Structure 1
Amino acid sequence: MIAPIHSLAFSIQANRGVYAVLVGSGISHAAKIPTGWAITLDLVRKLAKVVGEDCGAKPEDWYREKYGCDPDYSELLDAVAKTSAERQQLLRTYWEPTEEERDEGAKQPTAAHRAIAQLVSKGFIKVIVTTNFDRLMETALADVGIVPTILSTADQVHGALPLIHTQCCLFKVHGDYLDTRILNTPEELSAYPVEFDRLLDRIFDEFGLIVCGWSADWDEALRRAITRAPSRRFTTYWAMRGEPSASAQQLIDHRGAQVISIKDADSFFVSVQEQVASLEEFSRPHPLSTEAAVASLKRYMSESKYRIQLSDLVFSELERTIEAIDASGFAVQGGPVPTGETITERVRAYEAACATLAPMAVQAGHWGEAAHTPIWLRVLSALATLHEGGSGYVFWLELQQYPAALLFYALGIGAALSERLDFLSDLFGVTVAREHKEDKAAVKMFAAACLLSNSGGKGLEGMQERFSPLSDWLHDRLKPWCKRIAVTDAQFTMAFDKLEILIALSYGYHSQQSLDSYWAAPPACAYGSRRNNGERIIKEIQQSLDDAGDKSPYVTPRLFGTSAAECKMELEAFSSFIAKLSQRWY
């Protein structure tokens, strides 16, 4: 059987704004707030002391014997404090914390108050009925930006907006502590103003009910209001410690209420709020567009409190990408023969599978922080090791790395546009552990010209005559995803060329070999068809190494060397190699 508290969470999440909360003094118990009756008895003790008598263990009996009537909150206040200002000052000591009490956390909103406020802020709860005089609920609501409609007198109820038009209605049926008209005695609690009854009839008829911290023993008028309600269209949930009183049991039976056994109000409401939040997160539809997914990603990256949501979003999209890649359209044997047409078709199919993940990666590379890096390195590794070994057409086997390479470049271009050289170092240097092959640094696996060793991507549509076909292809594919972070096309192209130069330098560094061979510095646009960009970027890097030395941002993350001297050697060897390539190309 499903536990009642779980049913409650499902009901709240599925029926936003349908449930009202009825809370009594039990919700404020943890805050060390006295009940109205406790204050009345304390006033009796003070009165007894003033007249020089001992009221004993039962001050109400002493008061009854001396004055011939039951102790009355309002009459006592009138007796000990003659003006409204004096009465307010007297009452503040009971409900407002001293500095010492504030340090102890006393007379502050409890976890239960704050959990209810969270439910209100998300629109799950609209109506709160309370028998409490304190203002802890108001404070908790204010802390989440909610200004409730507060009703505590007949006049306020008479002039109130309909419940449907309020964000939150806080109905204080026994009054507010700063108003001496609060209800205390059995006689006062036996009947409400007609305006109260009408509003309560509507609430108990039209809303589901969550009861907590209310014994039902003393509040006759409130009991009658619940009994009068004709409708049970929504369930009543009654949370309590121990066994219900006789009065509570009658109402439970009358409403057919679901009883929830709880430890205390705090743990109950916190649990409900967390379960509703979890259901809301689970039920949230996946973004229907890439733009929506990117917007969610940026929001989650903006604050550390969203780290779990960020991880869930990224890995959920990774799962969808992998499901698409695992489809039969990507068979490596028994399928289409690699030709210019089928190669282009398959590359575009891979890009369609990564159509949301890759644009997210661009933003992650650009806006991310160090805490986000492990998430994306895990995603890259997952794509890189998705298919290992096997047999089939060599080109199709090699092309299985294209999704990982696309992600590698997407992360890289985002970082290049924001000069996140530390992230690029982590990205280039992360070791991809491969079960049946040698482990490699990512930069040695996904540099554009290393990916398709047999053709370099010349089979792609329109790339047959390019110096670096796959590099040009990636340049064109990445550009639309960078429109909001690259002001102009020229800025994007410069960042892309810088990325490829840094890839080449890092490739040589991680290869630990001379930059005299073709594969040590794979050909790319920046030192092929766009030599001016390449020369400008190399000069910029050289200037940084000369000016900052070992403190250069190219040295500190060990992007392509551990010292300025080592980086300069790599840069000089790279420049020499590019000159040789240029002679061959031109």
Structure 2
Amino acid sequence: MTINIDTTSSLAFSMSANKGVYALLLGSGVSRASSIPTGWEITLDLVRKVAQLENANCEPDPVAWYVSVYDKQPDYSELLDTLCRTQAERQQLIRSYIEPNESEREDGLKQPTKAHRAIAELVKNGYVRVILTTNFDRLMELALNEVGITPTVLSTSDHIAGALPLVHASCTIVKIHGDYMDTRIRNTTAELAEYPKEINSLLDRVFDEYGLIICGWSADWDEALRKALLRAPYRRFSTYWSSRGIIGTVAKDLITHKGAHEISINGADDFFEKLSVLVNSLDIYNLPHPLSTAAAIISLKKYLAEDRYIIHLDDLVSSETNRLLEILEGPDFGPRLNNVDNTILTDRVRAYEGACTTMVEMAIVAGYWSNSLQLRPWIRAILKLSQKKYAQGSPFPVKFQIYPAILITYALGIGAIASGNLAIIGELFAAEVLIDKKDPQPISVNLNLRRTLDPMNEKAEFLEGKEFEHFPMSCWIEDYFALRTKILFQNHTDFLYGFDKLEFLWALSYAYSASTTGKQFWAPVSTFFLRSGSLLALFEESRTSLDKEGESSSYVQSKIFGETVKDCTNLLQKLDDYSVELSGHPRFLIADTYQRR
């Protein structure tokens, strides 16, 4: 069975596992978003200036006009010599095309793009060391300078002859067609047909020794560069060709010859930002290879198809749980954090999420499809993950040891909500876990966010972007699962209602467990309380089911918050009264139309 993995994700994993072995080949498409013209566009504008001096109209085809008048193709260097007599004049003219004026700078034009800055981050972190570019501008150099890197820039044959070997430089930019401050740049058909031997030799080395990521280059005009790619031998590192829109015939032929992997992109900015995030996430947040996650889910679906695979299912879940525990017991999740700030603490949360990636993806599927028997391996996994490994250390890492168990519980619950399987949620919430060597309590109690992590929620200093939320941890987890459950819900609105329903039932289950001990009513409300539309709909949905279906209602049968219609109805009323009481509290004086989004 073929496993389909997003090509950008596969590239990210390969870059993470093989630091520095991929070179970039950047064309004009990378800089075009900054409004810097290409070399050919500059040449055409120079032709227009010549025509203006001749009091002639060169439109609509400046090249045809130039050929008809001068009987030759327009040449960038010759045009500059014609228009500007001194080197200083030539450089001033060129700068007007490449460097921003005051107005352009205010509008953010002719500045490094998001793509340039994302590439600079990849270079800074050691994933890219060689950049080939057909662009004349210095946007890549500027972006690298912003992150404290001064690259070696090779733009002429004599530069190449005196340069250090590529492996000894932290970053090398090879400006294949030259630099805009040098009038020897290449842009005419003849100039692009053949490179000097020094350029060819360097390209041969790069294409022979490095993998290649191509972006913003059409391959239509650069004959010499095409030749270099064609003569390069096949290497162990792949070629990835990213393109926006339809790929031309010339590029298609090169892709076929190189056996390159095609990546369809929305633009260079989007592509390199996504690639940078993925590559850095693999290292920082311990993300597993996407192939391993996909393979685990394929096996999981097979074992969920029939109960006779229960032993295989148990082995699969147990194996992944042990793998995760081994990671969580490693040095990246130690009990002490020095100089704690919101960035460090947020990174720790994301590291937990990265380590849990495969189990979370599996648990979402399991929650959707599992029956009671198939849920048992997951409950055992949660029991293992909820056991704290250390009691001493910084408060944050000590407290958040149970975060993986909470994530898996949410994943199972959201999957079950999407399939309408309340029975699975009832069994999940009722299963008991032991934390801090205290008496075992149901999962709905011991793994509830408001009970376990609420002291950290009050200021939410550890969550970037959630500092002003009423329920920051709930908001954070909502955002986390919104990206991972799109296949289960028709749209984001449906997801929000499903997420609210899970936390609504969780609050009721908590209150139901507490009611058996005779304690005063309290429910751990969260984001569902702030979305009045969801809250009213959830009350109406549950009450309608109880009124119409009676003891056959899925709310009664699941025993999430009662074993009879009367029990369930009474608890719903208590939560309703409690929500009205909270609405009068200054912290929760929120308009009926309030929506976080």
- The alpha carbon displacement at 1:387 in A equals 12
1:293 aligns with 2:297: no
Identity %: 47
Aligned AA (1:20) = A
Q: Could you say which residue in structure 2 is the equivalent of 1:507?
A: none
TM-fit CA distance, 1:231: 2.5
Alignment of 1:161 with 2:202, yes or no, is no
Partner residue in 1 for 2:21: 18
**Cα distance in 1 between the residues matched to 2:275 and 2:91:** 36
Q: Give, in whole Å, the separation in 2 of the partners of 1:91 and 1:256.
A: 39
Deviation digits for residues 489-520 of structure 1 (CA, Å, limit 9, x no counterpart): xxxxxxxxxxxxxxxxxxxxxxxxxxxxxxxx
State which of 340, 344, 349 in structure 2 corresponds to 1:311: 349
Letter aligned with residue 166 of structure 1: A
SS of the residue 1:196 aligns to: helix
Q: Tell me the CA shift for residue 380 of structure 1.
A: 13
The partner residue of 1:209 within 198, 208, 212 is 212
Q: Residue 49 in 1 paired to residue 52 in 2?
A: yes
Q: Is the 8 A contact 2:153 2:173 kept in 1?
A: yes
Structure 2 counterpart of 1:282, one-letter code: N
Q: Which residue matches 2:394?
A: 360
1:78 pairs with 2:81 = yes
* 2:98 pairs with 1:95: yes
- Separation in structure 1 between the aligned mates of residue 134 and residue 149 of structure 2, nearest angstrom: 20
| 1:39 pairs with one of 42, 60, 65 | 42
The 3-state SS of whatever aligns with 2:189 is coil
Q: Deviations over 1:262-295 (max 9, x none)?
A: 2211111112222222222224995776697356
Distance 1:439 1:212, change over 3 A: farther
Provide the rounded CA distance (Å) in 2 between the counterparts of 1:291 and 1:257: 36
Q: What does residue 426 of structure 1 align with? A: none
For residue 139 of structure 2, what is the aligned residue in structure 1?
A: 136
Matches within 5 A, 1:96-115: 96-115=99-118
Aligned-partner Cα distance in 1 for 2:258–2:355: 45
**Contact 2:100–2:110 (CA under 8 A) maintained in structure 1:** yes
Contact 1:20/1:207 (<8 A) preserved: yes
**What pairs with 1:250-289 in structure 2 (closer than 5 Å)?**
250-280=253-283, 281-283=285-287, 286=327
TM-aligned CA deviation for residue 195 of structure 1:
1.0
2:394 alignment partner, SS class: helix
Contact 2:382 2:405 survives alignment (8 Å): no
Superposition pairs of residues 190-209 of structure 1, within 5 angstroms: 190-209=193-212
Indicate the SS of the match to 2:110: coil
Give, in whole Å, the separation in 2 of the partners of 1:309 and 1:391.
27
Letter in 1 for 2:70: Y
CA contact (8 A) 2:432 2:440 kept: no
Q: Identify the match of residue 237 of structure 1 among 240, 260, 271.
A: 240
AA matched with 1:213: G
Q: Secondary structure at 1:179's aligned position in 2?
A: coil
Amino acid at match of 1:73: Y
Do the aligned residues in 2 keep the contact of 1:19 with 1:127 (CA within 8 Å)?
yes
Cα separation, partners in 2 of 1:252 and 1:315, compared to 1, 3 Å: closer
Change (3 A) 1:90 1:289: same
How far off is 1:324 after superposition?
A: 11
Distance 2:102 2:182 in 1: 24
Alpha-carbon distance, 1:196 to partner = 0.8
Note if contact 1:290-1:359 (Cα within 8 Å) is conserved in structure 2: no
CA contact (8 A) 1:232 1:255 kept: no
3-state SS, counterpart of residue 129 of structure 2:
strand
Kept after mapping to 2: 8 A contact 1:4/1:260: yes
* Distance in structure 1 (CA, Å) of the matches to 2:120 and 2:383: 45
Q: Say if 1:439 and 1:147 are closer, same or farther in 2 by CA, change over 3 A.
A: farther
Aligned to 1:63: 66
* Shift in alpha-carbon separation, 1:59–1:439, aligned structure 2, 3 A: farther
Structure 1 residues 67-117: Cα deviation after superposition (integer angstroms, max 9, x where no partner): 221111111111111222211111111111122212222111111111111
Choose which of 139, 146, 149 in structure 2 pairs with 1:146.
149
The separation in 2 between residues aligned to 1:7 and 1:206, in whole angstroms, is: 20
Q: Deviations over 1:116-174 (max 9, x none)?
A: 11111111111111000011111111112221111101111111111111111111000
Equivalent of residue 29 in structure 1, options 15, 27, 32: 32
Q: Using the TM superposition, give the Cα deviation of residue 206 of structure 1 relative to its aligned residue in structure 2, in angstroms.
A: 0.9
Q: How does 1:304-383 map to 2 (within 5 A)?
A: 304-306=342-344, 308-313=346-351, 326=383, 353-355=388-390, 358-361=392-395
2:369 aligned residue: none
**Aligned in 2, Cα 1:46/1:305: closer, same or farther, shift over 3 Å?**
farther
Task: State yes or no: 1:222 paired with 2:256.
Answer: no
Using the TM superposition, give the Cα deviation of residue 56 of structure 1 relative to its aligned residue in structure 2, in angstroms. Answer: 1.8
Q: 1:51 to 1:120 in 2, by over 3 A?
A: same
Helix, strand or coil: the match of 2:212? strand
Residue 9 of structure 1 aligns to a residue whose secondary structure is: helix
Q: Who is 1:420 aligned against?
A: none
Q: Distance in 1 between matches of 2:352 and 2:161?
A: 52
Matched ranges for 1:450-529 at <5 A: none
Relative to structure 1, is the Cα distance of residues 399 and 203 closer, same or farther in structure 2, using a 3 angstrom cutoff? same
What is the alpha-carbon distance in structure 2 between the residues aligned to residue 40 and residue 291 of structure 1?
55
Q: TM-score, normalised by structure 2?
A: 0.56
The residue type equivalent to 1:293 in the other structure is G
**Are the counterparts in 2 of residues 31 and 108 from structure 1 also a CA contact under 8 Å?**
yes
- 1:378–1:257 distance in 2 versus 1, CA, 3 Å: closer
Distance between the aligned counterparts of 1:308 and 1:96, measured in 2? Answer: 39
In 2, Cα distance between equivalents of 1:13 and 1:240: 22
Aligned to 1:127: 130
Q: Distance in 2 between matches of 1:390 and 1:60?
A: 79
Show CA shifts across 1:201-251 (max 9, x none): 011011111111101111111111111111332111111122222221221
How far apart, in 1, do the equivalents of 2:263 and 2:433 lie?
60
Once residues 116 and 315 of structure 1 are traced to their aligned partners in structure 2, the CA distance between those partners, rounded to angstroms, is 25
Following TM superposition, the consecutive aligned residue runs of length 4 or more in structure 1 with deviations greater than 4 angstroms are 283-292, 313-319, 322-328, 374-382, 386-392, 396-400
Select between 264-273 and 23-32 the one with higher mean Cα deviation: 264-273
Letter in 1 for 2:146: D
Q: Are 1:150 and 1:169, in contact at CA under 8 Å, matched by a contact in 2? A: yes
Q: TM-score, normalised by structure 1?
A: 0.57
Give me the whole-angstrom Cα distance separating, in 2, the residues matched to 1:73 and 1:9: 39
Q: Which runs of 5+ in 2 are unaligned?
A: 289-325, 360-378, 408-427, 457-509, 521-597
Q: Is the 8 A contact 1:148 1:168 kept in 2?
A: yes
Tell me the number of residue pairs that the alignment of Structure 1 and Structure 2 aligns. Answer: 386
| Mapping of residues 402-441 of structure 1, within 5 Å | 435=514, 436-437=516-517
Aligned counterparts of 1:70 and 1:218: Cα–Cα separation in 2: 15
Separation in structure 2 between the aligned mates of residue 154 and residue 287 of structure 1, nearest angstrom: 52
Q: 1:16 to 1:397 in 2, by over 3 A?
A: closer
**More displaced 10-residue stretch of structure 1: 37-46 or 234-243:** 234-243
Equivalent AA in structure 1 for residue 105 of structure 2: R
1:294–1:389 distance in 2 versus 1, CA, 3 Å: closer
Q: Which stretches in structure 1 are left out of the alignment for 5+ residues?
A: 331-349, 366-373, 413-431, 441-586
Question: What secondary structure sits across from 1:46 in the alignment?
Answer: helix
CA 1:72/1:233 → structure 2, altered by over 3 Å: closer, same or farther? Answer: same
Tell me the SS of whatever aligns to 2:126. Answer: coil
Deviations 1:404-455 (A, max 9, x none): 9xx99xx99xxxxxxxxxxxxxxxxxxx987354669xxxxxxxxxxxxxxx
Assess, with a 3 A threshold, how the Cα gap between structure 1 residues 104 and 291 changes in structure 2: closer, same or farther: closer
SS of the residue 2:200 aligns to: helix
Structure 1 residue 12: deviation in Å? 1.4
2:12–2:278 contact (8 Å) kept in structure 1: yes
